[in-house]
Amino acid sequence: MFEGRPDRSAEVVFCGRSNVGKSTILRELTGHDFTTGKKPGVTRSPGHYDWVSEDFVLTDLPGFGFMSGVPEEVRETIKTDVVHYIEDHADEILVGVLVLDGKSAVDIIDRHADRGEVPHDVELFHFLQDVGIPTVVAVNKMDKVDDHDERLNAVCDRLGLPSPWQQWQDTVAPVTAKRGSITPLTEAVRTHLHDQRRDDLLKFF
């Protein structure tokens, strides 16, 4: 089980498969370098970024799903720990950000669905909603996608959100973190913080 969470009553968590760009997004938000690696599964425990004077923390949860060279039981443990972390801190988590790789997410989801499995991404999206956490899906690496609208509609479809994607701008945020293009994400997070009367936290986004 993960340990070492700062004692903060407000939190925004970032979760998703390995190598989808969670740490890059957090670096854009904070200017702080999170542990990243070319090798999936480098992050095995949460990374926390908190402000000493503020009752608020950003959390980078470990990536889940297939990781080359990582045994299946380790992958399952990480996924279970992520779910438990979210469940245990649901009251403090103001927004959950699920990061997808815009280029590969639809194919990965379909591959699992075709095998009769519930894809982790879809499962986590519904889980966040089930525990009452406002959720933003950051569809990253959109610079590698040609048919933006078609791809975002397909992502919405897989998550059970009727297209067109444009009606879900508080939920679906196309970004390219490597190029510093994360405005749709920050705007969506700000909307959810405002809705929860936490305008004091808008300065972080």
pLDDT band at residue 145, thresholds of 50, 70 and 90? very high
Residue 51 has what pLDDT? Answer: 76
Segment 130-138 mean pLDDT: 97
Q: Residue ranges of the domains in the chain?
A: 11-195
Reduced 3-state DSSP string for 52-71: CCCCCEEEECCCECCCCCCC
Q: 101-128, pLDDT tens digit by residue?
A: 999 999 999 999 999 998 989 999 999 9
What are the phi and psi torsion angles at 15 (to 5°)?
-140, 165
Residue 147 has what pLDDT? Answer: 94
Residue 36 has what pLDDT? Answer: 47
Q: What is the CATH number of domain 11-195?
A: 3.40.50.300
Q: 160-177, pLDDT tens digit by residue?
A: 999 999 999 999 999 999
Asked if residue 164 has a cis previous peptide bond (ω within 30° of 0), the answer is: yes
Segment 77-106 mean pLDDT: 94
pLDDT at residue 200 greater than cutoff 80: yes
100 vs 24: CA distance, rounded Å: 13
Residue 114 has what pLDDT? Answer: 92
pLDDT band at residue 31, thresholds of 50, 70 and 90? confident
Residue 67 has what pLDDT? Answer: 65
